[in-house]
Structure 1
Amino acid sequence: MKSTIAGTTMPVLEITLEPGERIIAEGGDVSWLTPEFDIETSTGFGSGGKGGFMSGLKRMVGGGQLFLTQYTAKAPGSFVAFAAQLPGTIRELVIDPADQFMVQSGSYMASTSDVEVSVGLQTKLGAGIFGGAGVVFQKLAGNGTAWVQLAGEITEYELQPGQSMLIHPGHLALYRAEMSLEFASIKGVKNKIFGDSLFLARLHGPGHVWLQSMTPAKLAAAIEPYLPDKSSSSSN
């Protein structure tokens, strides 16, 4: 199996497989592929070999899909490609019991068949954060390789024991699963929508963290003024 990440602002992940090799991805996310694949969809995929309908439900709680699609190569040189959904970057992660990760919901792209994709953290914050919908992270565990898409430019930090960092939840893209995370209302910083404080994530070291400069919410807010007015068009 060989992976290639090409492009700059809107990169593409291309994975080339040998006969019998397989990868898992969310249904509908594939961009293009060669015809030499067996394609199957199931709730049991993405469970690290544990399988079962409950694995799919846990994945849904984590913001993922109930069904995942498995691509099994039938001929040498078969490849499948996935394009990033937001301007940013694609990262490859090696997963094993010593290297497990928490990734913001919507960032998971694909993985090898023995990687478990499940809910890692779900919390509901104030009305000013994502409209009160809260923050959800998926956990990547098991053994294998996973690929994630992160928005905007990426800044990385290695937190030492005893170190912590306050982070806006939307900018917290990826962090090591063993790190402790909590949310707190920070007084003195006005929430720009509601309330007299801002909710921030407090991430504790030791461990590595990846922060993204763009958040989907801010991107949506930036382009919203340029979208057609549905209310005016429906009334005509």
Structure 2
Amino acid sequence: MRTQITGSVMPLLEVTLSGGEQIIAEGGEVAWLTPGFEMETSTRFGSGGRGGFMSGLKRVLGGGQLFLTEYTAPSSGGAVTFAARLPGTIKELRIDAADAFMVQSDSYTCSTGGVEVSVGLQRKLGAGIFGGAGLVFQKLSGSGTAWVQLSGEVLELELAAGQSMLIHPGHLALFRAEMNFEFASMKGVKNKLFGDSLLLAQIHGPGHVWLQSMTPAKLAGAIEPYLPDKTTTTTTSS
């Protein structure tokens, strides 16, 4: 298996497979692929194919899909390409017993067969963040390689033991699963979402953190004034 990430603003991930090699992704993630691939959709993929329906249910609780699709290359080999959904970066993660990760829901793109995608953290937030849907992190564990999408520009921080960082929840894109994570209410900060308090994510070292400059909620808010008004109806006379 060979991978190549190309592009800058809207990157592409091309996965080139030898005959019989496989890659797993959620439905609808593939942008294009060479002919001859066998495709199978099931709940059992991930964690070596052992999880079955319960693994699929964990993915749903983590903001993912119940079913995953396994792409198997023909004997001559082939390539599958995935496209970023938002401007940003595609990140490759090597996962094993010592390196599990927490990533924001909808960031997972694809992985090799030994990676398990499950719910890691859920928290209901105010209506102004994520459209009231709350914050959900998926946990990537097991053994293998996964690829995730981070939005906008990405800043990486290494927090030492005893260090912590306060982060707007939407900008916390990815962190190592063993790090301690909680929410902190910042009293006295007036804003349109929480009145006189601001809810921030507080993450504690040691460990590595990836912060993203763009959030889907803020992008949607920026373009909303330019969208057609769906409440306006047009009448025509005969």
- 1:126 Cα offset (Å): 2.8
Matches within 5 A, 1:5-24: 5-24=5-24
- 1:74 Cα offset (Å): 1.2
Contact kept? 1:151, 1:215, Cα under 8 Å: yes
Contact kept? 1:55, 1:118, Cα under 8 Å: yes
Q: Which residue of 2 aligns with 1:152?
A: 152
Q: Aligned pair 1:187/2:214, yes or no? A: no
Q: Which residue of 1 aligns with 2:74?
A: 74
Q: Secondary structure at the match of 1:231?
A: coil
Q: Name the CA distance, whole Å, in 2 between partners of 1:224 and 1:106.
A: 21
Provide, for residues 119-175 of structure 1, a one-character-per-residue CA deviation record: whole Å limited to 9, x for no partner.
011111233332432110000000100000000000010000010000000000000
Q: Secondary structure at the match of 2:30?
A: coil
Q: Which amino acid aligns with 1:15?
A: V
Contact kept? 1:128, 1:191, Cα under 8 Å: no
| Unaligned runs of at least 5 residues, structure 1 | none
Q: Name the CA distance, whole Å, in 2 between partners of 1:69 and 1:234.
A: 43
Provide, for residues 44-72 of structure 1, a one-character-per-residue CA deviation record: whole Å limited to 9, x for no partner.
11344322111111100100001110001
Distance 1:32 1:166, change over 3 A: same
Provide, for residues 87-110 of structure 1, a one-character-per-residue CA deviation record: whole Å limited to 9, x for no partner.
001010001001110000010000
Q: Which residue of 1 aligns with 2:89?
A: 89
Q: Name the CA distance, whole Å, in 2 between partners of 1:83 and 1:234.
A: 37
Q: Secondary structure at the match of 1:136?
A: strand
Percent same amino acid at aligned positions? 74
Q: Name the CA distance, whole Å, in 1 between partners of 2:128 and 2:197.
A: 10
Q: How many residues align?
A: 236
Q: Which residue of 2 aligns with 1:108?
A: 108
Q: CA RMSD in A?
A: 1.3
Q: Secondary structure at the match of 1:140?
A: strand
Q: Secondary structure at the match of 2:50?
A: coil
Q: Which residue of 2 aligns with 1:207?
A: 207
Q: Aligned pair 1:123/2:118, yes or no? A: no
Q: Which amino acid aligns with 2:121?
A: L
Q: Secondary structure at the match of 1:225?
A: helix
Structure 1 residue runs of 4+, over 3 Å off? 233-236
Q: Name the CA distance, whole Å, in 2 between partners of 1:98 and 1:20.
A: 28
